[in-house]
Amino acid sequence: MPRPIKAMIHSNALRNNLAIARKYSGQAQLMTVVKANAYGHGIENVYDCFNDGDGFALLDLDEAIRLRALHNQGRILLLEGIFHSTDLDLCAQYNLSFAVHSPHQIQWLQHYQGTAKFEVFLKMNSGMNRLGFRPKEYRLAWNTLTQLDCVSTLHHMMHFSDADGQRFGKNGINDQYQTFQKAIHGLLGQQSVSNSAAMLRHPHLHSDFIRAGIALYGSSPDHPTHTAADWGLQPTMSLRSEIIAIQHVQPHESVGYGSTYIAKQPMKIGIVACGYADGYQRVSPTGTPVLVNGKRSTLIGRVSMDMLAVDLTQHDANIGDEVVLWGKSKYGNILSIDEVAQASGTLGYELMCGVTARVEIQVTD
Ligand SMILES: *Cc1c(COP(=O)(O)O)cnc(C)c1O
């Protein structure tokens, strides 16, 4: 038998979340973001569920080529654009659309010798200061690209730094949006603006192509303001394992490396086949929630490489019983990945992307 840990991928939840995203995206085209191997779910495992969307977005060329093997026609967008001039040949061969965010990428297009014509999303740095042309430089970049024979279609693109929160004072994200709209004023072309947080929280913003990621994977982009359930989103990944040993500890005895946890009363402790080498965060502290046979309990002491300990004092649990680290129990109860992430000082994004290769993935309904 394999070690009992596995990551279940829930197809019906992926489909449900896509339908929710559709509801919020109105008339816009909905591109499903499948970067980082579909946020850890496996591109091949989500493909059928997302094929109803209006194309895919990711940023790794190898992943794009893998996806093209499944998706022989529709749009595949490279969000970071090309990394080398020779990538243009791959984009031609595999019919990949790409972002252009910097002058060197324009130069590569100017020197392109092939016959392909590319769909390009020109990216503006509207305030995040990560990728893109500043508003003042944007128009020149746009005009340069419109004159190139190898560019068949040109779209406008920006990305919000704060769609999940309230920076930029009481204007929320409007500063970034207005900066973008002002800079593209009078230029033809469709716009790609919103990510999951903007799609859900600011559905009134105009975006011809929405780029939705995290919401499709059942994590709330603005947790804890809204939970996934508040948005109607369902967990798409469940990290499940089993109890492989039980310890009865006495007051003043410790549990795990560093003896960081000391029992105050007699306790029953379950040892679970899951550790940081599976992608569970080592920084997750005592008290991080888990489900034992569908009922809530907590992590105890330090997470080791291959194991962690949970409190079974109030549980009638035995060897082989189910422990859910996040997601859905086979008994139907849900432990939100966002809650586990919050307890661990991170986001659902990082937990789902962090599940390691040794964890078997199983796709179910
Ligand atoms: C990752 C990413 C998205 C999707 O973001 P979510 O918050 O997961 O919806 C959209 N656009 C760009 C440019 C991205 O890098």
CATH number at residue 71: 3.20.20.10
User: Looking at the structure, do residues 192 and 249 belong to the same domain, yes or no?
Assistant: no
CA atoms within 13 A on the CB side of 358: 14
Is residue 153 included in any domain, yes or no? yes
Is residue 37 included in any domain, yes or no? yes
Encode pLDDT of 189-240 as tens digits: 999 999 999 999 999 999 999 999 999 999 999 999 999 999 999 999 999 9
State residue 21's pLDDT score. 98
35 assigned to active site = yes
Residue 212 Cβ < 6 Å to ligand 1: yes
Nearest CA to ligand 1 atom 1: 213
Mean pLDDT of 280-305: 98
Outline where DSSP puts E strands in the chain.
6-10, 29-33, 56-58, 76-78, 97-100, 118-123, 151-157, 191-192, 209-212, 237-249, 254-255, 261-262, 267-272, 289-292, 295-300, 308-311, 322-328, 334-335, 360-364
Token readout for 283 is 């920084």
State residue 63's pLDDT score. 98
Q: Give CA torsion, residues 98, 140, 167, 56, to 10 deg.
A: -10
The CATH number that applies at residue 252 is 2.40.37.10
Residue 214 Cβ < 6 Å to ligand 1: yes
CA gap 11, 9 in Å, rounded:
6
Ligand 1 pocket mutation, candidates 164, 211, 219, 231, criterion most atoms within 8 A of CB: 211
State residue 291's pLDDT score. 98
User: Looking at the structure, do residues 263 and 358 belong to the same domain, yes or no?
Assistant: yes
Token readout for 246 is 């039980």
State residue 172's pLDDT score. 63
Residue 221 Cβ < 6 Å to ligand 1: yes
Neighbours of 139 (CB within 10 A): 15
At 160, which amino acid appears? F
Atom of ligand 1 nearest to the CA of 196: 9
Is residue 178 included in any domain, yes or no? yes
State residue 171's pLDDT score. 62
User: Looking at the structure, do residues 241 and 216 belong to the same domain, yes or no?
Assistant: no
Encode pLDDT of 351-361 as tens digits: 999 999 999 99
Mean pLDDT of 294-323: 98
Encode pLDDT of 6-56 as tens digits: 999 999 999 999 999 999 999 999 999 999 999 999 999 999 999 989 999
State residue 323's pLDDT score. 98
User: Looking at the structure, do residues 173 and 311 belong to the same domain, yes or no?
Assistant: no
Is residue 54 included in any domain, yes or no? yes
Place of tokens 């402790």: 269
Residue 33 Cβ < 6 Å to ligand 1: yes
Which residues lie below 8 Å from residue 275, measured CB to CB, with a gap of 6+? 303, 304, 305, 306, 307, 308
Is residue 272 included in any domain, yes or no? yes
3-state DSSP assignment of residue 117: coil
Are 21 and 199 in contact, with CB atoms under 8 Å apart?
Answer: yes
Nearest of 231, 325, 240, 295 to residue 13 by alpha carbon? 231
> How many A from CA of 99 to the centre of ligand 1?
13
Domain count, the chain: 2
User: Looking at the structure, do residues 181 and 111 belong to the same domain, yes or no?
Assistant: yes
State residue 117's pLDDT score. 98
Encode pLDDT of 242-290 as tens digits: 999 999 999 999 999 999 999 999 999 999 999 999 999 999 999 999 9
Encode pLDDT of 63-103 as tens digits: 999 999 999 999 999 999 999 999 999 999 999 999 999 99
CA gap 221, 176 in Å, rounded:
18
CA atoms within 13 A on the CB side of 236: 33
* The Cα angle at residue 89 between residues 83 and 93, in degrees rounded to 5: 120
For residue 315, what are the domain limits? 237-364
Place of tokens 């975006």: 207
Encode pLDDT of 151-169 as tens digits: 999 999 999 998 887 655 5
User: Looking at the structure, do residues 243 and 216 belong to the same domain, yes or no?
Assistant: no
Mean pLDDT of 163-183: 80
